[in-house]
Amino acid sequence: MLQQSQTTSIRKRTKKVAPHEPDRSTFMHLTLTERRRILREQARKLLDCYTCNTEITEALTAVVEG
């Protein structure tokens, strides 16, 4: 399980990856197509963060195998 400091660090890195995301209220007023496009784009950007971080990949591997 991630420590509080680790989750805070991940959130900071995530905001750097997706700095232009709309706030929740604005996001929910977008069309479903537009929301999906934004989420797809964010997922692609975050993929590198998760695949390059060995702690996360090891934890995910342990969950899948465990």
pLDDT in tens, 13-53: 555 545 566 688 999 999 999 999 999 999 988 887 777 77
58 in a structural domain: yes
Evaluate whether residue 54 is within a structural domain.
yes
Q: Is 43 domain-assigned?
A: yes
Asked, for residue 2, whether it belongs to a domain, the answer is no
| pTM across the whole model | 0.48
- Identify whether 8 is part of a domain: no
> Is 7 part of any domain?
no
HEC readout, 6-51 = HHHHHHHHHHHHCCCCCCHHHHHCCCHHHHHHHHHHHHHHHHHHHH
Domain that holds residue 59: 30-66
Confidence band, pLDDT 50/70/90 cuts, at residue 61: confident
- 10 lies in a domain? no
- Centre a 10 Å sphere on the Cβ of residue 18 and count the other Cβ atoms it contains: 14
For 27-59, b/e burial (b = at least 16 CB within 10 A) is eeeeeeeeeeebeeeeeeeeeeeeeeeeeeeee
Name the domain count of the chain. Answer: 1
Q: Which two tokens stand for residue 41?
A: 């784009």
**Inside any domain, residue 11:** no
